[in-house]
Amino acid sequence: MSKLSAWFGGTFDPIHNGHLHCAREIASLLDLQNVTLLPNNVPPHRPQPEASATQRVELLKRAIQDAPLFSIDCRELERDIPSWTIDTLTLLREEVGEKAPLAFIIGQDSLLSINKWDRWQEILEYCHLIVAQRPGYSSQHADNKVQLWITRHLTDAASLHRNPCGGIFLADTSLYTISATDIRRRLHHSLSCHGLLPDAVIEYIAETGLYRPR
């Protein structure tokens, strides 16, 4: 059994099959027993999610109700103040201990704009980054400093298990042309989201009127 623990942060407004399928592929590729979903507390100066924090958690619960691979960690939502990823990673590192391999899953788009994250160059001191492919994003979208940083830290699957942190692993996941922005737009226009979201999530959205037509 792998001791590598993996966390997957996101706004999840809403969680969709792009998130879930990529995470499942990564788990299978790396023999992960669990992936913990970590919904973000969005800072007030950023565009706010359309779903409330409670609704985003309910969406996550519905999405994973039949998927034992996943669990949910609401620590960022339970704090009064928005937490930076680096702060959460610091806490996670304290919890797992200094030697345990710890990974944070992100999409390729997030990797290429990682220089917008607080203390981004310190992130690899706490975890590995496992990067899911995302259609339409290549390293040309990153500035030179980020490209160099990525190249310097690229690693393979075995190193993720061997070392506690420090590597960037580009996972060869399938390409899923699914985004929360597009899903919200489709729902605002009463368009079908069949295949883009788990059925239980579609049901919750219908029950609550969330993302209803504008």
Shortest Å, Cβ 113 to ligand ATP: 9
Nearer residue to ligand ATP within complex by CB, 117 or 125: 117
3-state secondary structure of 111: helix
Nearer residue to ligand ATP within complex by CB, 57 or 158: 57
For the beta sheet containing 70-72, the strands, ordered from the edge strand earlier in sequence to the opposite edge, are 70-72, 35-39, 5-10, 102-107, 128-132, 168-170
Q: Which residue has the tokens 């979201």?
A: 197
Residues that bind ligand ATP (CB under 6 A): 10-12, 18-19, 22, 106-107, 109-110, 132, 134, 176, 178-181
Shortest Å, Cβ 175 to ligand ATP: 7
CA angle 27, 28, 34 (to 5 degrees): 35
Nearer residue to ligand ATP within complex by CB, 3 or 74: 74
Q: Which residue is nearest to ligand ATP (CB)?
A: 107
Euclidean distance between the first and the last CA atom of the chain, given in angstroms as a whole number: 48
Nearer residue to ligand ATP within complex by CB, 19 or 158: 19
DSSP state of 123: G
